[in-house]
Amino acid sequence: MINKTEILAPAGSLDAFYAAMAAGADAVYLGGKAFGARANATNFTLPEIKELIRYAHIRDKKVYITVNTIIFEDEFSQALEFVGNLYYSDVDAIIIQDLGLAMVIREKYPDLALHASTQMNIHNWSMAKKIQELGFKRIILPREMNIDQIKMIKEKVDIELEIFIHGALCVSYSGNCYFSSFLGKRSGNRGQCAQPCRLPYRLEGKEKYWLSPKDLCTLDRIKELQAIGITSFKIEGRMKRPEYVAQVVRSYQKAVNHEAFNIEQEDHRLRTVFNRDWTKGFLFKEENKNFSNIEQQNHVGVYIGKVSSTYQDKVNIKLISSLRYGDSIRLVGKLTDAVTINQMYVKDQLVKEAKAKDIVTIKTHLTGLEGAEVYLTTDRKQIDELTKFYRNDPYQVDIEGVCYLENNQVIFSVTDGVHKVVQVCLEKPEPANSDQTKKIKEQLEKTANTIFRFQKLQVRDNFFLPIKSLNQLRRDSLSALEAMRAIKYPNRKGRPLTEESLNHEGETAGIKVRVRTEAQYQKALSFPVKAIYLSDEGLYHKYKENPDVRYYLPRNNQKLIEEKVITTDYSLLPGNINSVYTNISNSFSVRQMEKLGAKIVGLSVELSFRQIKDLLEGYVHRYGSYPSLEMMVYGRHELMTMSYCPINKALGKEKKNCGECLKKQIYLTDRFGYRFPLIRDEECNLIVLNGKRLHLLPYLKEIIDAGVKNLILDFSLETDEEVEKILKLYFAALQNENIDSEEIKEVTYGHFQEAII
């Protein structure tokens, strides 16, 4: 038997929230004015959130609040206060990325449900098991996982699973995109992503939208996903308009409830509200070539015809489907134009609607549109119907009631099957001269301005009460019932946080290196480095007897190698080190990494020096000791890690693992001529590197004095001669020798001096 699965809808505005509720969503996720991964959505104030939670609970729906950004030291108390306000506002769950914040919430508010954000990138069953052990109720799985991997987690771990079923996709692994962060300080991990992936780039001589994914659509595969036992189907779109939310929820409700529906008709409705063309995504192992839309990065619409002829600023379009007054279209040829239809002619007659096979004449903004294809981007009739629909919420609650006399008082008892209200009328009844039961029933049944609807109402005794008193009795009873439905968690009570004192051993400052080739490794051996991190598994197995060698696991690790690794996998931390790409940005998260067994904690590449000092001061103040930390001080930041490969697509290959990126160095070039090197890891994930190298040589002493003793030099494209040159410079700086920090060109200080937004 296939169980009913929750449909979880996005709400970036009040109208979108009400659209989701009216369309039948079981739950809605939304964000406050801070700490949410969609900072550019309208979002909500705390009083608004309280009212929306009440509104949803009355309708037996749920509200999940996003607190899924990384949290800096100086804002941790504010974030915790915000969560506390949500807790006492009766929120159903909090969506979390920052593991330090999550663990403090577990201690202070142990009965508050925590959902692990997709930004945490829980990408294997071992991580899922660890997250369950840490007290999370649900995992929002990354969009890179396929159905077989999801099945394995479901089989091995007893935890709720949530997956994306529709909407925009990120081209990078969730939580591991720093492209926007390092290009313009707008971090995706802070909800400020500027979406550089949606811009055109030059690759292998062609300028296209190489990093722009199509939109996910799984409408025809819902039964397969339900059969796995997924708890929640998530719709992306907190930046989308309410009509989009209403349409997507309505379409997927039909699929989830196994209603008979016309798949072509629903597909058309989904495409007209928004699409970049469809993909099944990694969920259903979409072929690499079908994942992205390299020709267009915005709303595609639905093909409805072609320009058959032009005359000055007019075009004739031969339609294959209808076009109406108020619709919007896009004409795509050598040039592209967008037009909202306010006048159109068929056979020189002004018309409000043109049908399939008609040749319709309209004005355009541009000339030169001969042969252009025409796409419907807004169906005005559909939008008007959806707007009318969500503004008239059809939701109703069936109730039963009984009205009777007891001790010469009128009693009205109302129940929804779970809650029960017994209301006593303040006015004394009078004897009735005739049968009043029908009139009393009619008056008490008037629930038109509420969400309630009487399925059964009895009036057991005959008496007289003025209409005014009966109306008041009904209003008081239904208001009390509504109030009972609004509060789902009436006995919430926070707990004090425990104090902890630590006594870490001091350590000597030193340099570590990350290398990708044997030549780089051999050159590193000639210097007194503290450790060598090998990004090649073959090299690691060849040299793992060296006690200073560790293996730098690929981002989407499925191998579960447990010894001597650098990892983002929480389940592999005992005795190991977390990667600087784990987004550790406050002292609470540092401590949680230690509790999970991390030998050394890697600091986020997005931290400024001031934030690093704040973190250390907070840690020392709280625990009385310095932690063992490491940070990247040289190298090319990994801006993106992608399962999708644009090189493979650009070269027209049928399958991944083509090896073309191993034959020569390939670059992605932006519109300003800035080049980003592309490399691959051992899982054939493509990594976009920053074109400039981080180079913190002038600040080495300050970093060490602040308390960070492990300094990583990350070598990627460097030759062994360059490795030697850079190591000499950094070891000289470590010994306080005079050095020329400008000897290395094309460098950046990253976020060291200027914090991300």
pLDDT, one tens digit per residue, over 671-682 is 999 999 999 988
pLDDT, one tens digit per residue, over 53-63 is 999 999 999 99
Close Cβ partners of 711 (under 8 Å, ≥ 6 residues apart): 509, 510, 511, 512, 630, 631, 633, 700, 703, 704, 730
CA dihedral 482, 488, 490, 494 (to 10 degrees): -140
Site of tokens 């946080």: 497
pLDDT, one tens digit per residue, over 356-378 is 999 999 999 999 999 999 999 99
Give the Cα separation of 145 and 398 in Å (integer).
Answer: 41
Share of the chain above pLDDT 90, in %: 89
What pLDDT score does 1 carry? 42
The H-or-E segment that residue 84 falls in is: helix 76-88
Question: Is residue 3 predicted with pLDDT exceeding 80?
Answer: no
Question: Is residue 287 predicted with pLDDT exceeding 70?
Answer: yes
Of the pLDDT bands very low, low, confident and very high (cuts 50, 70, 90), residue 225 is: very high
Question: Is residue 2 predicted with pLDDT exceeding 60?
Answer: no
User: Span 201-226, mean pLDDT?
Assistant: 96
User: Span 329-340, mean pLDDT?
Assistant: 95
Question: Is residue 37 predicted with pLDDT exceeding 70?
Answer: no
Question: Is residue 352 predicted with pLDDT exceeding 70?
Answer: yes
What pLDDT score does 4 carry? 81
Question: Is residue 392 predicted with pLDDT exceeding 90?
Answer: no
Q: Measuring CA to CA, which residue among 565, 563, 576, 573 is closest to residue 533?
A: 565
User: Span 626-644, mean pLDDT?
Assistant: 97
Mean of all residue pLDDT scores within the chain = 94
Of the pLDDT bands very low, low, confident and very high (cuts 50, 70, 90), residue 394 is: confident
Q: Measuring CA to CA, which residue among 489, 470, 590, 492 is closest to residue 70?
A: 590
Quick one: tokens of 48?
Answer: 């608004």
pLDDT, one tens digit per residue, over 738-755 is 777 677 888 999 999 999
Handedness of CA 728, 732, 738, 741 (dihedral sign): positive
Question: Is residue 382 predicted with pLDDT exceeding 90?
Answer: yes
Q: Which amino acid is at 214?
A: K
Longest dimension (CA), the chain: 109
Give the Cα separation of 19 and 576 in Å (integer).
Answer: 47
pLDDT, one tens digit per residue, over 446-488 is 998 899 999 999 999 999 999 999 999 999 999 999 999 999 9
Using DSSP's 3-state secondary structure scheme, residue 401 falls into strand
Strand partners, 413: 402, 422
Give the Cα separation of 558 and 576 in Å (integer).
Answer: 17
Quick one: tokens of 574?
Answer: 């005992």
Question: Is residue 421 predicted with pLDDT exceeding 70?
Answer: yes
Using alpha carbons, list the distances in angstroms from residue 536 to 172, 367, 543, 645.
21, 56, 11, 20
What pLDDT score does 38 carry? 66
Using DSSP's 3-state secondary structure scheme, residue 516 falls into coil
pTM over 0.85: yes
Of the pLDDT bands very low, low, confident and very high (cuts 50, 70, 90), residue 654 is: confident
